Amino acid sequence: MKYDELNILLDEASKLYDKIPIKEKTFMDISGYPHYENVSSNILAFYFNTQEEHNFKNLLTNSLIKVLQNKGIAIDLIDDDCVVEVFREYTTIKKNRIDIVLQSNDLVIGIENKLDSSVYNDLIDYAETLNQLDKNSIKILLSLHDNSKAVVDNEFINITYQELFNQLKQDLANYKNCNNKWYIFINEFIKNLENYGVETNMEEEVFKFLKDNKEKLYKIDELRKIPMTSFENKENELKQLLEYKLKVNYIRISKELNEITCYIDSPKKYHVDANLSYDGWRLGVFTWSVTNNYKMKQVILNSNYELIEDDGKHRIFYKYDYNTSIEDILEKVIEIYNYFEDKFNLE
């Protein structure tokens, strides 16, 4: 690959990287169930239910109706005091299950919810089931991305989450009790799926970039392997010298994408790290538990070591150029190890 071609490719990759959005973590991210269809269906069913404690009445149902109206569907908004029954996993004629069915005296809406999975459902069976409840029933395919091709000739209307959320956010802006915890939770739900929608769009763009440039990227990866081989050789040499000098058998090597670390895995539950990357050598200590982090902090405060970097777990004392001799690196690693073995106690 020519130098100019490499520069163009790297520039394209950099621009693509800069487009990655900064994602605000939501409560659903923390829960570990951020993108499960059943979870999102449960949440929607809760907010559609006028009998639940959120006190939104028919806010969500009317937001959905407004989206339908914008798509040319002749349907009226419902009063706040109208009772809407909500059914989850409603059984169809053919014993399939519709995710959500909303039913009142004047309204039947069936909702099939799709986030990641493809639309493999028997939507004709769903439509016939809903028509038995009400011949004027509304059938909705609610999806993260446009799925209009899946609703041809089966009476369903495709609504994206973003269309629903755009309307819902307008309606929530007029909601008076913003201190209601359910108001906070529904905004978290909206933010969570909006983040996920952006992520999946980015995935498609990244996949296309990788596919279109796979041969060039292969060549870059081959170039990357050259220094990585050198890193590995240096770290292996350091490991052998440390084992010889210290007479211990708990020296390890870990490999990451663009760096390698030789570390002394002390029985006292901390590491002495000698990390090597394109930026050169970084020498310091690493602790992983809260208790040991605190103890290490105290030991360092009482030492003559000056921190160059500190993320709360990795504490770096020295940085050296890549070409620094192994003997010099060895000397500093042993110095750090001897000091902390003497000062760092588990008691």
The DSSP code sequence of 204-233 is: HHHHHHHHHTHHHHHHHHHHHHHHHHHHHH
Q: Are residue 125 and residue 25 in the same domain, yes or no?
A: yes
The backbone torsions φ and ψ at residue 308, rounded to the nearest 5 degrees and listed phi first, read -90, -40
Cβ pair 142, 113 in contact under 8 A: yes
**Looking at the domain assignment, is residue 194 inside a domain?**
yes
Number of domains in the chain: 2
Q: Between vectors from CA 98 to CA 97 and to CA 102, what angle results, nearest 5°?
A: 135
Q: Is residue 15 part of a domain?
A: no
Kindly state whether residues 26 and 162 are assigned to the same domain. Answer: yes
d(CA 259, CA 278): 7
Q: Where among 174, 204, 234 does a domain terminate?
A: 204
Residues in the chain: 347
- Residue 35: predicted pLDDT: 65
Instruction: Tell me whether residue 13 is in a domain.
Output: no
Q: Is residue 236 part of a domain?
A: yes
CB neighbour class for 306 (10 Å; exposed up to 12, middle 13-18, buried from 19):
exposed
Q: Are residues 154 and 235 in the same domain?
A: no
The position carrying tokens 């994602």 is 23
CA 86 to each of CA 16, 67, 74, 160: distance values in angstroms, whole numbers, following the listed order: 43, 19, 22, 20
Residue 83 lies in a domain: yes
Residue 197 confidence (pLDDT): 63
Q: In this structure, what token pair is assigned to residue 49? A: 């239910």
Q: Are residues 231 and 181 in the same domain?
A: no
In a domain, 120, yes or no: yes
Of 204, 234, 249, which residue sits at a domain end? 204
- Do 181 and 298 sit in the same domain of this protein? no
311 and 194 in a common domain: no
Written as tens digits, the pLDDT of the chain (347 aa) is: 566 766 777 777 777 776 666 666 766 666 666 567 888 999 999 999 988 889 898 999 999 999 999 999 989 999 888 888 999 999 999 999 999 999 998 899 999 999 877 788 899 999 999 999 999 999 999 998 888 888 888 999 999 999 999 999 999 988 776 668 898 899 889 988 887 766 666 667 767 777 877 887 777 777 777 788 899 999 999 999 999 999 999 999 999 988 999 999 999 999 999 999 999 999 999 999 888 999 999 999 999 999 999 998 999 999 999 999 999 999 999 999 999 999 987 54
Do residues 137 and 31 share a domain?
yes
- List phi, psi (to 5°) of 90: -70, 130
Q: Which tokens go with 106?
A: 């004047």
The answer on 307 and 185 residing in a single domain is: no
Least Cα distance to 43 among 115, 146, 95 occurs for 115
Question: Is the pTM value of this prediction over 0.75?
Answer: no
Range of the domain at 87: 21-204
Residue 49 is predicted with a pLDDT of: 93
8 falls within a domain: no
Give long-range contacts, CB 8 A cutoff, 24+ apart: 17-20: 19/202, 19/205, 20/202
Are 62 and 193 part of one and the same domain? Answer: yes
Q: Which of 171, 204, 237 is the last residue of a domain?
A: 204
Q: Are residues 109 and 196 in the same domain?
A: yes
Residues 319 and 259 in one domain: yes
Instruction: Give the pLDDT score at 152.
Output: 86
| Same domain? 246 vs 197 | no
